[in-house]
Structure 1
Amino acid sequence: MMVPAPLRLRLDGAALIENWRTLARMSGSAACGAAVKADGYGLGAHGVAQRLAAAGCRDFFVATWAEAEALADLKLPVSVLHGVRAEDMEVVRSGMARPVLNTPLQIQRWRDSGGGPCDVMVDTGMNRLGVSPAQVEQGLLDGLTIETLISHLACAEDDTSMNAAQRKRFAALTGRTGARRMSLCNSAGIALGTEYHFDLTRPGLSLYGGSLVPVLAGSIRQVVFPQTQILQRRRVPAGETVGYNATWTAPADTEVAVCNLGYADGYFRGFSGTGAGLHDGRSLPVLGRVSMDLIALNVEVAPDLAEGDWIDIAFTLPQAAQTSGMSQYELLTGLGSRFSRVWTD
C-alpha cells in the first residue's frame, strides 16, 4: 500500500507547455528542444518529456545513459550529453539515444564500435566538455555521421563580450563537419537574439519557470508549486523560542504551524527567517531555522488552519532564489524524492 506523502509538488502541465511554446516562438526558425536532465530539473523527466512531446517537442537532452533508459519507453529522440564511457557501450548499442561525443577517446570508441548517427560537443570557451575548434579544423570529426554539432554558452545571462566571442567561434565551424544541425543556446541564450539560435535551441531552466534575464521574466510562468501538510499547530508564549539554535523569539503569544518540509527536501536553510507559506493570499513567514524535515510558520493571520491542512510554499523561482541565496537551478534540482508529484494539465 502506498502511504500518501505529507508533502507534494503540484506541477502545472499547461504552464510547462506554454513556457516551451514561448521559447519556441522566440527561437524563430530554429527548432526548440528541451533539456530534461537531472530528472527533468527535479519535476520528473518522464512526465515532462511526455507532455512536451505531445506539444510538439522533438529533441530531448539528458546527462547520462541511466537518464536515457528512464525515458526509453516513450521512444523519443534523446541525446546523452556526457557521451560514451566504456561502461556505457552495451546500452548505447541498443539505439535508445544518441551520444554527444565530447573527447577524442569517446570519438575513437564510437568509431571502433561501428559508428552511426551521433552528436558532438565543441568547446568554444567554457572549458568544460567538448573538443576544440582547432581539433575540428584538423579533421578529428571527419567521417562521422553527425546529427547535431553542439556548443554551450558560459555567460548567456550576462552582458559580456564572451557571448559574441563564443558565437563567432561556433559559427566559423558552419559546414566544416557535415553536421545536419548546429545548436548553441540554452534558455538565456535564446533571449540573445536570432544570430545565436542556429538550427536548434536547448532550453532548460525556463521550461520549468525560471528566468535569469528580464526579457523572459514577464512571459515565463511558474510550473512548480510545493505544498506541505501541517503536523501540529501550537501557541508559542511570548519570550519562548522556535527551532534549532533558538534564532527566533516570540515577541508576543504566537500561533505557529509545524509543517513537514525541510532541507532534506530541498527547502534549504537559506529560507530560515526569509521564506514563507501562502494561504488565501496571506503570507505565513518561516520562523527560525529550517531543519532537516520540518519548518515552523507564523499562522497568526490564519485561525482556520489546523493539523492535517495543506499550505502552499512561496516558490516563484526568481524570488525564491533571491530570498534563499540559492540559484534557481539548485532550487529546482534539489527538490527531494519525498515529495509526491501531482500534475495538473
Structure 2
Amino acid sequence: MTHADHAIVVEDLRKEYGTTPALDGLRLTVPRATVQGVLGPNGAGKTTLVRVLATLLRPGGGRAEVAGLDVVRDADAVRARIGLLGQHAAVDEELSGRQNLELFGRLYHLGGRRAASRAGELLERFGLADTGRKPVTAYSGGMRRRLDLAASLIMEPEVLFLDEPTTGLDPRGRTEVWEAVRGLVGGGTTVLLTTQYLEEADQLADAVAVVDHGRVVAEGTPDQLKAGLGADRVDVVVRDPARLAEAAAAVGGAAGAGTADTAGTGTAADPGGVTVDRDRRLVSAPVRDRMAALTATVRALDAAGIRAEDIALRRPTLDEVFLHLTGDATRNARTTDTTGMPEPTTEGAAV
C-alpha cells in the first residue's frame, strides 16, 4: 500500500513542551475510509498528535500528511479538507440546532442559501430534523454531541478527527455517536479517533495504535492486539472474599498459569499469570486448553471447598492490552502530561 492509499501519514513526528517530548518520533499511517483508534494514558501525546494533524500546532520535527497534503507547508489546504470534534462542545446552547449549523456554514463562507441547505441536510442525516428549531439547552447529551459532529462536517471533510468524542455521555448517547461515525466511514470519510473508552475502540476502530510517551508502542486490529497478549482466560467470581488467595492458587494451578498474584488491595495485574480483583471477588488466569482448563478449575475449587458464584471463559480485553502495554495503570488518573503542564485540549467543533 502506497502513501497515496493513505489519508494520514506520520513520519518521525516530534513536539516538545519545554525540554520534555510530547511526541517523540511517532509514526502512523491510516488507510482511507477507515477508523483509526489512538489509545494511551493521559499525557501520552494523543491530543498533541490531533492538534498537529489539524494544523493547530506546528511540529518540532518530522513530517505529517493529511489527505495527501503536508500539514505545515499546505496548512490552509489541509484545513479545507478536515473536520475536528474536540473534547468540549462548541455549539451555542442559546441557539437552535439549525441556527448553530447555519452559523458554522456562514463562517465557512457558504453564503446564506447554501448554509441553510447544508444545515437541513445534516440535521436530517443525524436524526435531528425534528429538533432542529429547539434551543440546544433542550437537547440530551447524545443529541448535543451529534450536533457537534454535524457541525464538524459542514464542509464534507475527507478526514475527521474525533478527540474523545463521547466523554461524559451515557451509554445511549455513546451508541448514538458510534452509529453516526459508522455512517460517515461508510460514506468514505477517514476517522482518527482518540479515546480512553476501550470499548469504543473495540466497537469502532478498524485498527488501533497504542501511544505511550509520544511513541506508538503497538498497533494492529483490536483482535490482533488481544491475540498478542496471549491465551484466553478463565474468570472465577468467588463467594467468600476471605478465600480469594486460596482460590487464586487453585485456579492458577488448574489453568497451568503458575503462581497467583494476590496483592493486598484493588486489582493485582500480571497479564502473564493470575490476576485478583478484590472489589469484584474475581480471580482470572490464562489458559492453554479452554475446555480442559475449565473442567480442571471446577474440580480444583470443589476439592478445596471454595464456592464460586460464576465461572466463565473469555478472550483478553483491550483493557488488559492497554494496561500491559502502557505498564502503569495509575497514569490514567493524571491530568497533566510528563512536563507537568496540562496537555492541550481541542476546543471547537470544526477547523
Higher RCO structure, 1 or 2 (CA under 8 Å, sep 6+): 2
TM-score by length of 1: 0.31
Higher helix share: 2
TM-score by length of 2: 0.31
